[in-house]
Amino acid sequence: MKIINIALDGPSGSGKSTLAKGLSEKLNILYLDTGAMYRAAACKALSLGIDTLDEKGVASFIDGIDLEIRYIDGAQHTFLDKKDVSLRIREPEVSMAASNISSLKCVRLKMVEMQRAIAKSMSCILDGRDIGSFVLPDAKYKFYITAAPEVRTARRKAELESRGFKVNFDELLKEIEQRDYNDKHRDFAPLVQAEDAVYIDTSDMSAQEVLERILSYIKR
């Protein structure tokens, strides 16, 4: 069977993961959330007490990291040192740590190697920052999903609050803008729209509208 990969790139809170889940159900192919892998690498550094921007310190463990992505009833679970860390990686302190650690070349090379191996083995939707531009430049479908920073902040706030975290809008907006800056300005494989990606601004669109728009491109 032919393997098809769909690349969804864009900044935090643009709606990629909701979209990827919808596409995964509609097209019956798995969804690989690549951000979860950077988040797990950040958790490892935090648990070792290593600064997430200390390239030497991070390089000392990244090649041997025991990180595994498993699918349970179609949903992705992230295992670190054999433990399911799917909830831990979503904690707010991990978000900035993941943004920092993802700027390190040694980390990206390791994660990209794993992502390419997964994408080669099965049809999947990958969401991230550099999927269409660097990880899978030959992906059959590529989309760049974005939204205004205030809209993305409001979405992230609602998501965090639904999970019981207390959130201040202005602080979260600042953090999102800082992460955007980090992701777009790192030296190696930054967040960028691939030349052949379809650009979609979801600021004024519902999740269902975004899903339908993407499906119409794919059907075309």
Report the nearest approach of ligand DC to the CB of residue 58 (Å): 14
Binding footprint of ligand DC, residue count (CB under 6 A): 14
Mark residues 94-123: x for contact with ligand DC by CB under 6 A, - for none.
Answer: ----xx--x---------------------
Query: Minimum CB separation from ligand DC for residue 1, in Å?
Result: 26
When asked if residue 183 is in the footprint of ligand DC (CB under 6 A), the reply is yes
The single residue among 44, 110, 129, 157 that binds ligand DC, judged by CB under 6 A, is 129
Concatenated DSSP letters for the chain? ----EEEEE-STTSSHHHHHHHHHHHHT-EEEETHHHHHHHHHHHHHHT--TT-HHHHHHHHTT--EEEEEETTEEEEEETTEE-TTGGGSHHHHHHHHHHTT-HHHHHHHHHHHHHHHHHS-EEEEESSIIIII-TT-SEEEEEE--HHHHHHHHHHHHHHTT----HHHHHHHHHHHHHHHHH-SSS-S---TTPEEEE-TT--HHHHHHHHHHHHH-
Near ligand DC by CB under 6 A: residue from 14, 20, 32, 35: 35
Site for ligand DC in 140-179 (CB under 6 A): 179
* Cβ nearer to ligand DC, comparing 28 with 153: 153
**Nearer Cβ to ligand DC, position 29 or 191?**
191
CB nearer ligand DC, residue 71 or residue 219? 71
Chain contacts with ligand DC (rule: CB under 6 A): 12, 34-35, 38-39, 98-99, 102, 128-131, 179, 183
